[in-house]
Amino acid sequence: MPRRPIYDWLPYLDAVLALWTEFGEDFKVGDLTLTGARELRTDLQTTLDRLNTLQAELGLTMGERDQEISDIESFAVKFRSAVIAQYGPDSTQAARVPKVDPPRGRGGGGALRPPTV
């Protein structure tokens, strides 16, 4: 794991590149070159851009998932209500419809209980 926060590396490398440019393009230390440093910066920027895109896509996908779960929960409540209205709350049919648990705080959303027999 890097010692600096990830997004601090681009400004750091930009400062190094600016200083290196002042020294001249011919300045190199062993196998380190200005061209190689520029490639490193481009690679990191590309990776960070891809990461941002994936995070945005993940957020949208999680929103879709949450909406679909909400739709299923609404369907389940309406279905149970319709069965109870049709057959009565103490009927065998109503007892067979799974109940929707209320949300359980952090990390636990509503869940369908298994049918009671």
Q: What whole-number distance in Å separates Cα of residue 34 and Cα of residue 20?
A: 7
pLDDT per residue as tens digits for the range 28-58: 889 999 999 999 999 999 999 999 999 999 9
Mean pLDDT for the chain overall: 86
Residue 4: band (very low, low, confident or very high) from pLDDT cuts 50, 70, 90: confident
| Vertex 84 angle, CA 83 and 85, to 5° | 90
Within 10 angstroms of residue 55's Cβ, the number of other Cβ atoms is: 10
Tokens of 76: 């389940």
- The pTM of this model reads 0.62
H-helix segments, the chain: 9-23, 34-87, 92-96
What letter represents residue 5's amino acid?
P
